[in-house]
Structure 1
């Protein structure tokens, strides 16, 4: 019969541990002589120094080759997305629903538009604005502004949005049957919407459903034009005060006072038929007055 393993006392276990930490018979510290501890410490110090140096070199090379003003690859952004405000985005589609007879309901819409347009307020000081932009021409800037290393931006005054600016009518028409929606095209660095010098970049809205309920569609600025002087966009680092050009669309609702519309940006470099991205080049939304 195998003999039972002798049970060791607590004192014996402590003695074993003490001899492991320092064994005077072999002159070892935790299983190694002081000389071996020096060798292994030097090895790991050299190993981690080399690894740290290689990692630092890789990061330096990466940062040295990156352009802080523009991404190296933009192949996933063939055309800009288009958004609409008030931004009542549901799970599948945009539904702007309000009640012109209910102050709380239409105030929610007008507040959303006021908040969206706040950065466009004329009292907001932006030092990098260039107020002498040439309308109808791309604002090409091949060089940075000295000292600040930035580029100029064209200001977008709210007056261009006419009655949809929120100045003359703080309700944006949501307290009646003439609501305003604002269309914005998302930014893509160095993107030119049109290569045709004679083509105007503009927003065009069509009624997909409920045509009898829309008496008139009016655009601000006139003809829904997105002036070329706001393009190209050079990135937030170069143009921290850049303002997207906007187009306000005022609808005259009649009858049942609801409609489904598609608003798209018309330009030869902007596609809008991508079935995988419903917001590329266009936005589809439903507006309804519950009255």
Structure 2
């Protein structure tokens, strides 16, 4: 019993470990002969090759069944999202505050709008989208009649935004109290806004820009826009709500108050 309880020295333990790693008497490496190690290695290589092949086959089958002409990213919400530019965010909502006496403040807003409107350049739009769309009707396309097996897209040019296009006034009105914002639909009133102007006229988006068939089918498609020029009461904060106006689109969702609309604040300082 005393021999069983005898503690082994550090040297003995190192010797035992060395014998475990390589036992010259049995010719084993870590308890197995080199031949067995070869068999085990081949087994795991074959196992992981088969698993990888099955995984790749499953991914390929999934991708093969997906329609490449369906938009990749879709939401469960039935109503479309609404956004506003310049997209300068405050603590809770978009807050478009600027100082009319500070040129850098207005230039920052103008740069955001210029960057956003680059895809809407008149020359680029008319080169890519030269199809003569019928206004007032949905542009239903059952075939891929455009070049490179794609579908036509209706052009939406920067000049269609009128004084809010940045072509007539590069400052977009941010050098005074008549700023322009770019949205997608209409909006509700507010007492701190003296006057509202829409571009295109009445803030209507023509149905000829819909439906959207996806990026692959319509590679030159750009979202139609509405520009709004406000005449603000200086030093007064105006809370603006832009919402979609359509009998098929909901904007009164109790669980999602921002469905179908966007809310932002606008203020011109001196």
How far apart are 1:90 and its partner, in Å?
1.5
Map of 2:144 onto structure 1: 144
Q: Find out whether 1:96 has 2:78 as its counterpart.
A: no
Aligned to 1:239: 218
Name which of structure 1's ranges 160-169 and 278-287 shifts more when overlaid on structure 2. 278-287
Maintained 8 Å contact 1:86/1:109: yes
Contact map agreement 1:79 1:270 (CA 8 A) in 2: yes
State TM-score, norm by structure 2: 0.85
* In 2: Cα distance, 1:92 partner to 1:42 partner: 59
2:263 aligned with 1:284, yes or no? Answer: yes
Matched, 1:264 2:265: no
- Distance in 2 (CA, whole Å) between partners of 1:110 and 1:153 is 28
Preserved CA contact (<8 Å) 1:66 1:72: no
1:1-291 to 2 correspondences below 5 Å: 2-3=2-3, 4-5=6-7, 7=9, 9=11, 13=14, 17=18, 20-21=21-22, 23=24, 25-33=25-33, 36-70=36-70, 74=74, 76-124=76-124, 128-145=128-145, 148-184=148-184, 203-208=185-190, 211=191, 213-254=192-233, 256-291=235-270
Aligned pair count?
Answer: 268
SS at match of 1:181: strand
Runs of 5+ consecutive residues of structure 2 not aligned to the other structure: none
Q: CA RMSD in A?
A: 2.9
- Give the CA deviation at 1:57: 1.9
- Verify the 8 A CA contact 1:128 1:239 in the aligned structure 2: no
Structure 1 unaligned runs (5+)?
185-202
- Cα distance in 1 for partners of 2:72, 2:119 equals 29
Residues 82 and 283, structure 1, Cα contact 8 Å, conserved in 2: yes
